Amino acid sequence: MHYTPAPRDPKADPIRINLLSDTQTRPTQAMREAMARAEVGDEQIGDDPTVNLLCERVASLLGKEAAVFMPSGTMCNVAATLAHCRPGDEILAHASAHIIAREGGAHAALGGFQITPLPGDDGQFAPGTFRAALHPRSRYQPPQTVVSVEQTANIGGGTIWKKAALDEVVEIAKANGLITHMDGARLLNACVATKISARDMAAGWDSAWIDFSKGLGAPIGGVIAGSRAFIDDVWRWKQRLGGSMRQAGICAAACVYALDHHVDRLADDHANARSLARGLSQINGIEVQEPETNLVFFRPDGAGVSGDKMVEALRKRGVLLAMMDGRIRACTHLDVSAAMIEETVALVREIVRGA
């Protein structure tokens, strides 16, 4: 799987429209001002009021007892599995899940865990598939300890797990003694699109987290929530993985600002994604997956242009996208306007005509 493009020279290869990922967002001026005004203290001893405020708000948002501020979403996933599992335990997740495809084998390297990939369309496994993968407790097989879902499913196309499916997975897991973990990197995208609250979406999940450095536009950070006992264990693993961030209120202030100002506007990103998909689908030979949130996957092969060549041609014209799992991925976000979407479609049409 190819994700990021080759290194580029910003002077020779200027990018005007960055559709590579929603991680490409930059803090707005108002967010920067909020960061500059932040009250700070030592996060290690619970003395940073802005970090404490952020954790309280996320715990409440997700309906959990407590939360902890982490540098990244990947660290949220890694610390969660380290807290939930023992070496030799088995985790079940979709075959394209971030914990399998995008975290450098951290769960095996650091925890000695086995992750079993479950098949399914659009980045999601069916509850029946999960049930079928369960086995009786036996000395011959690893203890099945955690089931993980990714909301939204990134490589699946930014698809949204239906609430009914989430609830059924929880029911099966609890009946069989498994812990439930939700990778909520784009959870709030799903909430805005479905109008289901984050608390309801995460109900029944023992641990869940949200990322602030994607569509919410903060420069850093994720917050993971769960029971107080679980968060105590996560803190121990945070210490082992590098420790606290000390006067982290400067970073937490960006996340608090994002909760106040950047959640509802995720709907704009979804509208831009639909507009991009609609425009691309009108070009002969372009195959487009209908977006549910802010991710648009498409193939230009039917138009006589390979995905790699399309990405390179767009890059030369100032538009940055990514190849992912044999498809082109475009990701709309805070720094992408409707006018940029129109220009991107026009450039794709130009490239296709040239081919």
Residues of the chain with CATH 3.90.1150.10: 17-26+265-354
- Please tell me the predicted confidence (pLDDT) of residue 10: 53
AA identity, residue 14: P
Q: Are 181 and 80 in contact (CB under 8 A)?
A: yes
C-alpha–C-alpha distance, residues 13 and 9, integer Å: 6
* pLDDT (tens digit per residue) in 307-344: 999 999 999 999 999 999 899 999 999 999 999 999 99
Residue in the block written with tokens 């011959």: 140
CATH class belonging to 38-261: alpha beta
Determine the average pLDDT of the residues in 149-169.
98
Determine the average pLDDT of the residues in 106-112.
97
* pLDDT (tens digit per residue) in 188-231: 999 999 999 999 999 999 999 999 999 999 999 999 999 999 99
Q: What is the mean pLDDT of the chain?
A: 95
Sequence-ordered list of residues with C-beta below 8 angstroms from that of 49, at least 6 positions apart, any chain: 39, 40, 41, 249
Question: Can you name the CATH fold of 17-26+265-354?
Answer: Aspartate Aminotransferase, domain 1 (3.90.1150)
- Please tell me the predicted confidence (pLDDT) of residue 35: 98
Q: Is the pLDDT of residue 5 over 50?
A: no
Residues of the chain with CATH 3.40.640.10: 38-261
- The H-assigned helical ranges of the chain are 29-37, 49-62, 73-84, 98-101, 106-111, 127-133, 163-175, 187-194, 198-201, 228-241, 249-261, 266-281, 307-316, 338-354
C-alpha angle 90-92-94 in degrees, rounded to nearest 5:
150
Q: Please report which confidence band the pLDDT of residue 2 belongs to, taking 50, 70 and 90 as the band edges.
A: very low
Q: What is the DSSP string of 161-187?
A: PPHHHHHHHHHHHHHTT-EEEEEETTH
Q: Please report which confidence band the pLDDT of residue 46 belongs to, taking 50, 70 and 90 as the band edges.
A: very high
Phi, psi of 185 (to 5 degrees): -50, -45
